[in-house]
Amino acid sequence: MKISTLIDTNVLIDVWGPTGPLKKWSASKITLCRGDGALVVNAIV
């Protein structure tokens, strides 16, 4: 069963933004989710 994973844009900022304490952790979680199903980005308004 494939699942969708909702990713908040804060996580993307952690990964693609400046190096910070959560960069490595956030990138590893996105990598884990990549094979499970669709990644859905939740934009912050």
What is the 8-class DSSP label of residue 2? -
Q: What's the pLDDT score for residue 4? A: 65
Kindly report whether the global pTM for this prediction surpasses the value 0.75.
no
For 5, 11, 21, the CA distances from 1, given in Å and listed in that order, are: 13, 25, 33
What percentage of the chain carries pLDDT values higher than 90?
Answer: 0
CB atoms within 10 A of CB 37: 12
pLDDT at 45 over 70: no
Q: Which tens digit of pLDDT belongs to each residue from 5-34?
A: 666 777 777 777 788 787 888 788 778 777
Q: What's the pLDDT score for residue 2? A: 64
Range of the structural domain that residue 10 is part of: 5-42
* Closest C-alpha among 31, 30, 37, 32 to residue 10: 30
The phi and psi torsions of 27 (rounded to 5 degrees) equal -65, -40
How many distinct structural domains can be found in the chain?
A: 1
